[in-house]
């Protein structure tokens, strides 16, 4: 048998087999599920809705106290949370660029950045030593 006499996958017999296979099928009616035994509508949201309810309860009980403690302990996290919640187009604009800053202002910014970097490094060092101490105590 040569290649020219071999049937292609789209031959008449394949097409008739496919049309026979799908002949009794009809599309679903509006509102009818293709899987009647499937997931109940709304069940996917039950866990997230319960979590949000619980979160609201906890927030009402102690949210402001937690914020005050966080503001005392780590104000940078409060600022990060605020910035995260703000929309990107919050309308905050700056009219000055680094090129517009006076030398004294640039030096003040560099001093602030260095101090923050040192504070972060110290906090990481303390966290690491506390972690090591806790790990030694647990073993």
Distance CA 76, CA 108 (A): 19
Whether residue 12 contacts residue 19, with contact meaning beta carbons closer than 8 Å, is answered with no
pLDDT surpassing 50 at residue 1: no
Query: Phi then psi for 101, rounded to 5 degrees?
Result: -75, 145
The residue written with tokens 């402001």 in the block is: 64
pLDDT at 90: 61
Spatial neighbors of 78 by CB under 8 A, at least 6 apart, are: 67, 70, 71
Per cent of the chain over pLDDT 90 is 5
Task: Report the 10 Å Cβ neighbour count for 67.
Answer: 13
Q: Which of 72, 74, 68, 70 shows the shortest CA–CA distance to 119?
A: 74
Higher pLDDT: 2 or 107? It is: 107
pLDDT tens, position by position, 24-58? 677 777 777 777 777 777 777 888 888 889 989 99
How distant, in Å, are the alpha carbons of 61, 74, 127, 130 from that of 120? Answer: 31, 11, 10, 15
């Amino acid at each position: 048998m040569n290649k020219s006499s071999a049937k292609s996958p789209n031959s008449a017999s394949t097409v008739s087999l496919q049309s026979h296979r799908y002949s009794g099928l009809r599309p679903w009616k509006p509102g009818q599920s293709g899987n009647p035994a499937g997931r109940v509508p709304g069940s996917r949201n039950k866990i997230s809705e319960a979590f949000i309810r619980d979160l609201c309860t906890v927030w009402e009980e102690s949210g402001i106290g937690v914020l005050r403690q966080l503001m005392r302990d780590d104000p940078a996290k409060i600022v990060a949370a605020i910035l995260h919640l703000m929309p990107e187009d919050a309308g905050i604009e700056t009219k000055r660029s680094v090129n517009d800053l006076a030398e004294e202002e640039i030096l003040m910014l560099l001093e602030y950045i260095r101090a923050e970097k040192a504070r972060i490094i110290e906090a990481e060092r303390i966290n690491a030593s506390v972690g090591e101490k806790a790990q030694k105590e647990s073993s």
